[in-house]
Amino acid sequence: MIQLLIGLIKDKKKISIVLFSLAVLLLLVNVILAKIYPLQSDVKKTLSEIEINKMFNDAIKKFGLNDEWITLKTGRDKSSNNSFPNYIISVPADLPIPVLLSQVFEDFSSTETTILSNEIKTGGFSTLEIFSNGKKILKADFDYDISIRRKSGLIGFIIFDEGQFDEDNFKTLNSSAERFSFLFLPDNELIKILNNCNKEFALILNDEITDIDYKLETGYSTHRLQLSVKAIINSFGNAAFFMIDDQSSLFNSSREEMIIDWLEKSKLRFLHKHDIRQLKSEFNLHNEFNDILKSMSDGEAKLVLISSFDYLSITDDIAGGKKIGYKFINPSEVIRMNQSSVSPL
């Protein structure tokens, strides 16, 4: 055996053939084993009729449909004479029926079921049927009803990282399709960043500004303070709004009224940080965010201040909010809707 190996080593061509043959053999073994022992994720789950009905209801309830919009009747299969639940579902106009159907297909994708859907009327009335082992388990009829609408609110996220903005998070968020506002401290380096910013942006005014051109200090003379404010306005006058940090010493002094007066004279929109709901990772973000949604009145618009890291950690919750009808818009739109920059938002 040793002599054979030595001979093979001397013959590189034979080594290549052996290695290739070995690779083919291992590939065949893997294919055979995969058929004998399939991966758990490849195994389709068998559901009872009760489970199928529950899963179907759970799928459509993800979109905030009221129970009153779902009517349950009994259908009958003409070929087998078997009865089955027939759901009559009224769909609000802002919720596309294909989105509902896609959710049902997605939720049942890992189960031993067959789903058939059919658009009876273009852009309207559609049906869906679910089968298991060749038996029709349920049927659902979807149609739009312009007289109903889902409760919904509007949220504008303001994304702010204390200190330096996380560069990776900024790139991720800046290239996303979501609507929100970046909040920055005034800085000369910021001008370069804004050249590549695809979102609306806002400026926060406080004691943390380090750039000498824009620095705001309580001890500054009125003239020096006015120069800083003018520099901020000249450089960032196209900001969607300005945020006043009420916790800073500057805005807990007699200087606050002066700075606000300058902003008003320049006809710039501003708001106060203490009037805005803040979400922080020190709390249970998922519960806190969902509590905000539940507490909102129909049509209410609210601003939420959050860090880039925390925002990225609740993207699934945001997607869930969209499904049930909530809209996430630019903060500037929220401010305009509320028509006041000084009342709680």
Residue-by-residue pLDDT tens, the chain, 345 positions: 445 444 544 555 555 555 555 555 655 556 565 555 555 556 788 999 999 999 999 999 999 999 999 999 999 887 778 899 999 999 999 999 999 999 999 999 999 999 999 999 888 899 999 999 989 999 999 999 999 999 889 999 999 998 778 889 999 999 999 999 999 999 998 988 898 899 999 999 988 888 999 998 888 888 998 899 999 999 998 999 999 998 888 787 777 888 888 888 888 898 999 989 999 877 789 999 999 999 999 889 999 999 999 999 999 999 999 999 999 999 999 999 886 544 444
pLDDT of residue 302: 95
pLDDT at residue 2, rounded to an integer? 42
Question: 120 and 226 in one domain?
Answer: no
Q: How far apart are CA 320 and CA 303, in angstroms?
A: 18
267: left (phi over 0), alpha (psi -120 to 50) or beta: left
Inside any domain, residue 138:
yes
Alpha-carbon separation of residue 140 from 81, 256, 271, 276 (angstroms): 18, 61, 49, 43
Instruction: Tell the burial category of 173 from Cβ atoms under 10 Å away from its Cβ (0-12, 13-18, 19+).
Output: buried
Same domain, yes or no: 78 and 200: no
pLDDT of res. 6: 47
Out of 105, 122, 144, pick the residue that ends a domain.
Answer: 144
Six token digits for residue 145? 């009803």
Please check whether residue 234 lies inside any domain of the structure: yes
Residues in the chain: 345
29 assigned to some structural domain: no
CATH code, domain carrying 226? 3.20.20.370
The structure tokens 């001008």 sit at 191
Burial of residue 37 (CB within 10 Å: 0-12, 13-18, 19+) is exposed
What CATH number does the domain containing 81 carry?
3.30.460.10
Number of domains present in the structure of the chain = 2
pTM of structure: 0.77
Classify the phi-psi angles of 134: left when phi > 0, otherwise alpha if psi is within -120 to 50, otherwise beta.
Answer: left
Give the domain extent around 218.
154-338
Residue 185 has what pLDDT?
93
DSSP secondary structure of 73-116: EEEE-TTT--EEEEEEEEE-TTS-HHHHHHHHHHHTTTBS-EEE
Q: State whether 114 and 163 are in the same domain.
A: no
- The answer as to whether 19 is a domain residue is no
**Dihedral angle, C-alpha 33, 35, 39, 40, nearest 10 °:** -130
Residues 57 and 201 in one domain: no
Could you tell me if 214 and 330 lie in one domain? Answer: yes
